[in-house]
Structure 1
């Protein structure tokens, strides 16, 4: 009698699933987007157009090309992993919060171009980690915040207009929404457990 081998699928609560799952989705969509006659980027955020409002949900997973995608994967993996050090649930909250709030702000105030890319969420994770460390002031949060500043201090320049084809609005509003979420969560966590 032979034993049946079962394939274990990592649960949604695992760090690996959270980060690699999103990266894989972006990769698959970029492959599809590279096929002749297909342009998924039309599903991105088109500010102040009702047809472009659904882009708030799709934009983080779409990219302008392979270079755009690859430039986002490493910082997303590192910053996402750092947020996961608090909990995977926290990662999902920050990811969804920055994607939705930042995306809505881009839709309201961004330039009238299609905005796509994971960079808005990356800036959201960045803003969250710095804000949370400053507000919570636990040793763990401060050390992570310092690591983020050391590794990614250069991201600050991305919130200013530089190149026409780069959505600084996604960076700016992602960072603002991430910092706001960090502030709210730090206050809540301090009230629940000052020693977190």
Structure 2
């Protein structure tokens, strides 16, 4: 006998809402914990060329230097994440994980000897992916999204340059490089796949 589907279901990883809101909630919860006196989770961030700091590659995107730092990342993350999800949520997760890990590893290898935390490396990865993919794929949809990204966040280009000592421009730079690379890769793969269907 068929049973009714429960109305209380866990959002699947394929949900756009889960992908974006879930990460925002995780970052917010960690910042709440980090605000409790005596707790300093930022010690789990990336500390370049130190073996204990290597594990920070996995934690750094979800930790922030304060509420202002967190809030300044959330809106562009929601916008850029949503734009990447227009291709697919699977594509969003691929770009997120690749830019977080690759950008984080490059920060660990070449960054300044400070603790690096924040979602901004991934932000720049999403930004670099959307622009690179649009240029390489050249479909109407890809170009339109790319133009929107350039229009909304053209100022990101200055973030890859060293400006303020407390801002990790290395995370921005290496995140953008990782995003550009994976955008190029996926555009080539998608063009090959489309040509086979013709």
Q: CA deviation at 1:7?
A: 1.6
Q: What is the match of residue 40 of structure 2?
A: 39
* Partner in structure 1 of residue 12 of structure 2: 11
**Hey, what does 2:154 align to over in structure 1?**
153
Aligned to 2:165: 164
SS in 2 for 1:193: helix
- In structure 2, the partner of 1:140 is 141
- 1:94 aligned partner: 95
Per the TM alignment, residue 94 of structure 1 is displaced from its structure 2 partner at its CA by 0.1
Q: Counterpart of 1:179? A: 180
**How many pairs were matched up?**
193
Q: Which runs of 5+ in 2 are unaligned?
A: none
TM-score (norm 1): 0.96
Runs of 4 or more, structure 1, over 6 Å off, are none
Partner residue in 2 for 1:77: 78
Q: Report the equivalent of 1:131.
A: 132
Q: Which runs of 5+ in 1 are unaligned?
A: none
Deviation (angstroms), 1:5:
6.8
Residue by residue, what CA displacement relative to the aligned partner does 1:9-39 show, whole Å, maximum 9, x if unpaired? 2111000000000000000000000001000
Write the distance in 2 (CA, Å) between the matches of 1:170 and 1:103: 7
User: Using a 3 Å threshold, how does the CA distance of structure 1 residues 4 and 78 change in structure 2: closer, same or farther?
Assistant: closer
Q: Give the distance between the partners of 1:66 and 1:92, measured in 2 at CA.
A: 25
Q: Structure 1 CA distance, aligned partners of 2:120 and 2:108?
A: 15
- After TM superposition, the structure 1 = structure 2 runs for residues 16-27 of structure 1, keeping only pairs within 5 Å, are 16-27=17-28
